[in-house]
Each structure stands twice: as C-alpha cells, then as structure tokens.
Amino acid sequence: MTAAGWTSGVLLALALATGTISDVPRANPPAMRNGYRVLAVDFHVHGFPSSWATLAPWDLVLEARRQGLDAIVIAGHNNVWAGKLGRWFSRLAGGPTVLAGEEIVSPRYHMIAAGIDQGVEWNQPAASAIAEVHRQGGIAIAAHPTAAFWPAWDAAAVRMLDGTEVLQPISYLPGRASYELQEFYERARVAPIGDSDYHGLGPMGLCRTRVLARDNSENAILEAVRAGRTSAERGPAPDRSATAAVSRACALLGLSIALIWKPKRPPEEV
C-alpha cells in the first residue's frame, strides 16, 4: 500500500470511530403542559426507496430517536408501505411512535395523509383525497402549500383539512415561501404544522411540531392535531461537538486522499 493509502485508511478509521462514539440520542425527557404530554413530532419524513430519499424506514426510526423526536410520520411518495415498515420496525426496536402515512404527490397539490393503512390515489381532486384519508381514520395536512399549489386548494378542500405546514426548511430560504405558507394558514385556520420534509439531508426535525397529546400513541397524536393542539417550531441546533467535527474533517480528508492519490500499486506496476 502507498503512503496515501495508509493515510486515507487511518483517517477514515478515525472518522468512523469518533463519529460512531458521538452518535448518541439527544436527551428527551417527558414534559407536561396543561395536563397533556408535550411531544416533538415530524409529520413529513421520506424513506428509501421510491421517495427521493437516502435512508431506509428502519434508519429513519434510529435517526428520529437520535434527534429526540417522540413521533414521526413516514410518508412515502404515493405509497404507504414504507410507513408501515417503519412502524413495524419501531415497535420491534422500542423506538419513537411511527405513524404510517403517504405524501399524496399530485401534479397540482401535495398532501400528507397520516395515520392511514391503505394507499390513497393521487389522480383525484384534493377534497376527495381528504375524504378518503378521513374514511380511513387519518388526518390530512397540506404539504408546503406555496402559491403554485393554491389553485388546487378550493374552498371545499381547505374546509376539510386538519393541518397545514406553516414552517418548513423552505421558510428560511430567500423568496416568498415563508409568507405564502403563512397566508395559506390564515385562510385555512387549521392546526399549524412544522416539518422538515426529510429526504436524508440535514437533521431530521429541523422544523418540527410541538403536539399536546394525552399520550404518545398514534391515536392521541391524531386527535391532538384534529383539536388544533399544535405549534410549529424550529428544532434544536445541530450537534457541533468536537468529536463530530473531528469525524467529518477526517472523513472528508480521507475520502479526498483516496480519490486523488493512488492507494495501492496496481499489479501491472509491481
């Protein structure tokens, strides 16, 4: 092996060791307010495959625990199986509450259907999709309802909604998204929801919802949203510990060295 090969190997081993050691769940002590449990929930989480995301449902469960979330909705793009798989794994592993869900991705609107077990067709108007979600006992949340999606949200659909995203990572980006989410909320006046729209980039629960629920069961969370006992908030600051910093610095350096320099003399040159 060449010197570059050794250096890269040592750096990557150090990165893995420090990264794995510092990979501990955030403290999340139970809190109460007005007789309700205060839960941190991310209603908009995507998994691999099929939803443009990098982490599988079981990885999402472990990541939710690491981010101190009490519950998540795994919402596959136009499928519910990813959520059901995540829910099964979380029950097995004693993880946070997982609600099976679907992001109904239509060309005209996006909607989170949380607490459902059967897929909901995307090629139908928003109001009839919401009716189907309600028939299954779930809740319907308007996903990032920026102005481009407003034509699909007619009065009937808005009246039937249970919640709407008012805080999302897009809220912090330049442009009008933040105002448009607020404007839609003013119109809908349903439970305000904060979500990370998680695809594997950045921390899950970067934006999250504080839910006041009887307990941390699926039914209690759904009931709390219907009753409007929610508020949207930004999640805690990302972990900037020294061990995590060492891990990412060594990782980037090790991977770059491995890419730039020859790690080993090839057989034809020996």
Partner 1 sequence: MSSAWSPELLVMLRPAAEYRQLVELSNGGRWWKRALRFSFLFGSVVSLAASGRLTLRLVAAGTLYASLIPLVEIAVLATVLGRSRKVSLARAADLFLMGHGAWCCWLLGFAGIWAFLAPIPAFEWTRAIWRWGVVAAVAAWSAYVDYCFFRCVAPSGPGWRLVVQRVACWTPAALIFGGGSLWPEILKVLGR
DSSP assignment string, 54-117? SS-HHHHHHHHHHTT-SEEEEEEET-SHHHHHHHHHHHHHT-SEEEEEEEEE-SS-EEEEES-S
| Residues in binding contact with partner 1, number by CB under 8 A | 65
Is residue 233 involved in binding partner 1 (CB under 8 A)? Answer: no
CB of 22 or CB of 217, closer to partner 1: 22
CB of 186 or CB of 268, closer to partner 1: 268
Classify residue 175 by its DSSP letter. S
For partner 1, the binding residues in 171-190 under the rule CB under 8 A are: 172-174
CA distance linking residue 124 with residue 109, whole number of Å:
10
Phi, psi (5° rounding) for residue 112? -90, 125
Is residue 78 involved in binding partner 1 (CB under 8 A)? Answer: yes
Beta bridge partners, 139, equal 114
CA distances from 240 to 12, 42, 237, 248, 252 (A): 19, 22, 8, 11, 16
CA distance linking residue 193 with residue 86, whole number of Å:
21
Minimum Å gap between C-beta 177 and partner 1 is 11
CA distance linking residue 64 with residue 76, whole number of Å:
16
Q: What character string, x for contact with partner 1 (CB under 8 A) and - otherwise, covers 11-50?
A: -x--xx-xxx-xx------------------------xxx
Q: Which amino acid is at 79?
A: N
Is residue 201 involved in binding partner 1 (CB under 8 A)? Answer: yes
Minimum Å gap between C-beta 214 and partner 1 is 32
CA distance linking residue 112 with residue 142, whole number of Å:
6
Question: At CA 160, angle to CA 158 and CA 163, rounded to 5?
Answer: 75
CB of 209 or CB of 225, closer to partner 1: 209
CB of 76 or CB of 96, closer to partner 1: 76
3-state secondary structure of 203: coil
CB 154, CB 114: distance < 8 Å: no
Q: What character string, x for contact with partner 1 (CB under 8 A) and - otherwise, covers 105-144?
A: xxxx-------------xx---------------------
CB of 52 or CB of 215, closer to partner 1: 52
CA distance linking residue 82 with residue 134, whole number of Å:
20
Residue from 7, 26, 36, 56 that binds partner 1 (CB under 8 A)? 56
Q: Which amino acid is at 32?
A: M
Minimum Å gap between C-beta 88 and partner 1 is 17
Residue from 25, 28, 38, 59 that binds partner 1 (CB under 8 A)? 59
In this chain, which stretch among 54-62, 130-138, 139-147, 153-161 interacts with partner 1, using CB under 8 A?
54-62
Residues that bind partner 1 (CB under 8 A): 2, 4, 12, 15-16, 18-20, 22-23, 48-52, 54-56, 59, 62-63, 66, 76-79, 103, 105-108, 122-123, 169, 172-174, 200-204, 206, 238-239, 243-244, 247-248, 250-252, 255-256, 258-263, 265-269
